[in-house]
Amino acid sequence: MMTMTRRAALAAASALAAAGPAAAAQRRPLVIAHRGASGVRPEHTLMAYREAIAQGADYIEPDLVATKDGHLVARHENEIHETTDVAARPEFANRKTTKVIDGESVTGWFTEDFTLAELKTLRARERLPALRAISKAFDGQEPIVTYQEVIDLARAESRRLKREIGTYPEMKHPAYFAGIGLPLEGRLAEVLKRNSLNTRSAPVFVQCFEPEPLKTFGGLSKARRVMLVSRGPAPVDVTSEAGLKAIAAFAEGVGPEWPLVVPIENDALAAPTPLMARARALGLEVHPWTVRAENAFLPKSLQRGTGPAAHGDADALLAALYAAGVTGVFSDFPDLAVAARARLS
């Protein structure tokens, strides 16, 4: 497969924009702030979401897990010792335990063992401190937030900035939570209804790696759904036309790991796969994840400087994804995604 150089990616993106104002408007991809501006602020905090909005993000993304008393809070996982100061809190030492989450044994502290009031006493911290020293400097400043607080922020900033900012919640480990009597689907649907977001046109996408929870959610809410898919074994094979047709039967979009759209060959970006064209032919949104700036997350040809924390050429990756025709992109650095998108026009 032919590899795509940075110059070729940028040229392809420019050619896409040259199709004219109408085509550019139709194809203007969304910038989705992955857990907020999580490259520079501790993820899933209000400061991370505010920074993402200030950088121009269209949507802010909270991963949702449940508390003991049934609230939905924004955390990367239900195990929280990596993203909070819970391990340093002696009053919660006896909450440390080992559980099996989606077939994997995990030891730590879990949101479902805390009430919302207890979780609110914790403070967030950077999950990748070795890579993100800027973000680590903000450790201990922000509490855990509920999905309602994320919606409230998006609405307040939409009014202030006079542009629509949406939310893009992910149901994390829904089968596990259903198994312990804390199903996520109904709780999420209720929050959306309470906030008048129960429509196909509402500024919200609901995402999940599991198809059955998305199907269940579809019976409870009209909000748009996106099936997430990673490389390797997955519930649905998005590399086949049949797999994409299966997704189109219950979701409005697909969220593939980005190399499923623009693959890596010989440590460089290669020409796009058929996924994009097939998905768009079925009317599916395509929102690949997740573009990060650090060398640790980029193919060798795009790495710059020395060490995994140094920032590489994420612009080339973004240009290649935009040139492929994606309708949105997740990034830990929404400012980079916004700037790359601006170059299209």
Question: pLDDT digits over 21-72, tens only?
Answer: 333 335 699 999 999 999 999 999 999 999 999 999 999 999 999 999 999 9
**Domain extents in the chain:** 6-65+144-342
The β-bridge partners of 32 are 59, 330
Contacts for 86 with CB less than 8 Å, ≥ 6 apart: 80, 92, 95, 109, 122
> What percent of the chain has pLDDT above 90?
89
Spatial separation of the C-alpha atoms in residues 285 and 251, rounded to whole Å: 9
Give me 155's structure tokens: 């609405």
Under 8 Å between Cβ of 283 and 244: no
Under-50 pLDDT residues of the chain: 1, 13-25
pLDDT value of residue 4: 56
Q: Hey, is 107 helix, strand or coil?
A: strand
Which candidate, 245, 213, 272, places its Cα nearest to that of 2? 272
Give me 94's structure tokens: 């006896």
Q: Which residues of 257-282 are buried (b: 16+ CB within 10 A; e: fewer)?
A: bbbbbbbbeeebbbebbebbebbbee
* Sign of the dihedral defined by the CA atoms of residues 334, 131, 137, 71, in that order: positive
Spatial separation of the C-alpha atoms in residues 254 and 247, rounded to whole Å: 7
Q: What is the pLDDT of residues 104-125, one digit of tens each?
A: 999 999 999 999 999 999 999 9
Spatial separation of the C-alpha atoms in residues 59 and 200, rounded to whole Å: 16
pLDDT value of residue 24: 37
Q: Where are the alpha helices (DSSP H) in 122-257?
A: 133-136, 147-161, 174-179, 184-194, 211-218, 241-248
Residue 99 burial class via C-beta count within 10 angstroms: exposed 0-12, middle 13-18, buried 19 and up: middle
Q: ∠ at Cα 49 (46, 55), nearest 5°?
A: 140
pTM for the full predicted model: 0.92
Spatial separation of the C-alpha atoms in residues 13 and 34, rounded to whole Å: 23
Which candidate, 131, 125, 115, places its Cα nearest to that of 81? 125
Spatial separation of the C-alpha atoms in residues 167 and 184, rounded to whole Å: 16
pLDDT value of residue 6: 56
The β-bridge partners of 254 are 227, 286
Q: ∠ at Cα 93 (88, 94), nearest 5°?
A: 170
Contacts for 265 with CB less than 8 Å, ≥ 6 apart: 1, 3
Spatial separation of the C-alpha atoms in residues 307 and 4, rounded to whole Å: 24
- Residue 279, CB-side half-sphere exposure with 13 Å CA sphere: 28
Q: Which residues of 116-151 are buried (b: 16+ CB within 10 A; e: fewer)?
A: bebbeebbbbbbbeebbeebeebeeebebbbbebbb
Spatial separation of the C-alpha atoms in residues 261 and 201, rounded to whole Å: 26
Give me 83's structure tokens: 């993203």
Give me 227's structure tokens: 């099936």
First vs last C-alpha separation in the chain? 29
Spatial separation of the C-alpha atoms in residues 207 and 50, rounded to whole Å: 21
The amino acid at 130: A
Second CATH level (architecture) for the domain 6-65+144-342: Alpha-Beta Barrel (3.20)
pLDDT value of residue 234: 84
